């Protein structure tokens, strides 16, 4: 039993999810959290912050050559964003599925962007796109002491392990 629990714990991943300033202003914080929570993922860190422009540039560093980079960084630093870390089996990849395609015009109905956003420049949510970026983004946005680690009673029902 203990072995099974340990094996399960080793499979747990963490991803970085941010509700961007448009999602906060539109009153979508609870709606977005609820979609991850109801799925069975576990919230292990959360805070609300106004990122500086420099911080936004660090977060989106990989996109620095893109024509929309400056506008994107201005936008991310324009008001409060909600920074979160979610944990669960497959959460990085499935988190991206819950979020939907980058351009809300191409996001499937049922996804967060598909249901709640219209244009690519205001797509309300960010999610890490792989294990390396997840690690980097968690380290960028959160201090180690802001991350929690806990078990809850629902886990045995979500994962079927006793």
Minimum distance from residue 119 beta carbon to ligand IDP (Å): 8
Extended beta strands in 3-89, E state = 12-19, 42-49, 81-89
Question: Which of the residues 89 through 118 are near ligand IDP (CB under 6 A)?
Answer: 102
Q: 113: annotated binding-site residue? A: yes
Minimum distance from residue 60 beta carbon to ligand IDP (Å): 6
Contact between 78 and 70 (Cβ < 8 Å):
no
Q: Does 79 bind ligand IDP (CB under 6 A)?
A: no
Binding letters toward Mg ion, positions 124-143, x by CB under 5 A: -----x--------------
Q: Which residues form the catalytic set?
A: 126
Q: Does 126 bind ligand IDP (CB under 6 A)?
A: yes
Residue position matching structure tokens 């989106």: 60
Which CB atom, from 72 or from 142, has the smaller least distance to ligand IDP?
Answer: 72
Q: Which does 155 bind (CB under 5 to 8 A by kind): Mg ion, ligand IDP, none?
A: none
Show the CA angle centred on residue 59, arms to residues 55 and 96, nearest 5°. 145
Which one-letter DSSP state was computed for residue 55? H
Separation CA 161–CA 67 (nearest Å): 49
Mapping DSSP to helix (H, G, I), strand (E, B) and coil, where does residue 54 land? helix
Q: 148: annotated binding-site residue? A: no
Minimum distance from residue 103 beta carbon to Mg ion (Å): 12
Strands ordered across the beta sheet of 125-127: 42-49, 81-89, 12-19, 125-127
Separation CA 123–CA 115 (nearest Å): 11
Question: Which of the residues 24 through 63 are near ligand IDP (CB under 6 A)?
Answer: 63
Q: Report the interface residues with Mg ion, using CB under 5 A.
A: 129
Show binding-site residues for ATP: 20, 68, 96, 102, 113, 123
């Amino acid at each position: 039993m203990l072995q099974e629990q340990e094996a399960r714990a080793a499979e747990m991943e963490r991803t970085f999810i941010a509700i961007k300033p448009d999602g906060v202003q539109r009153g979508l914080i609870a709606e977005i959290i609820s979609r991850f929570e109801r799925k069975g993922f576990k919230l292990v860190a959360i805070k609300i912050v106004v990122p500086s422009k420099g911080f936004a540039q660090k977060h989106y560093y990989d996109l620095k050559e893109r024509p929309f980079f400056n506008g994107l960084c201005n936008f991310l630093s324009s008001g409060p964003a909600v920074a979160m870390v979610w944990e669960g089996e497959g959460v990085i990849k499935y988190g991206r599925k819950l979020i939907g395609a980058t351009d809300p015009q191409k996001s499937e109905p049922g996804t967060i962007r598909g249901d709640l956003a219209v244009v690519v420049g205001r797509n309300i949510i960010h999610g890490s796109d792989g294990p390396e970026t997840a690690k980097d983004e968690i380290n960028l946005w959160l201090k180690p002491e802001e991350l929690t680690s806990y078990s809850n009673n629902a886990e045995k029902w979500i994962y079927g392990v006793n």
